[in-house]
Amino acid sequence: MNNELLHHLEQRINDAVEEIGSLRKRISELEMQNYELSEEKAEIQSTLDQTKEQQSNWESSLSQMLNRLNQMDDKQ
């Protein structure tokens, strides 16, 4: 009986060790995926910031042109 119990416990320990190894591997995969997504997010955020700045510059340029046109109309 003791041998059977020991064998059963040994099997459960081996299963648990295998599960822990599997979970560690999955954690590593998820950490890598998280890192890649963080990098991608940073690139997208940078592109978005550049686009916003460009839009702001265009709006400013258009506003200046409209002001000049209005000034020219006022002079006529």
**Helix, strand or coil for residue 3?**
helix
Report pLDDT for 5. 94
DSSP structural state of residue 59: H
- Note down pLDDT in tens along the chain; length 76 residues: 699 999 999 999 999 999 999 999 999 999 999 999 999 999 999 999 999 999 999 999 999 999 999 988 887 7
C-alpha to C-alpha distance for 48 and 42, rounded to whole angstroms: 10
pTM, two decimal places = 0.67
Contacts 24+ apart (CB under 8 A), 49-58: none
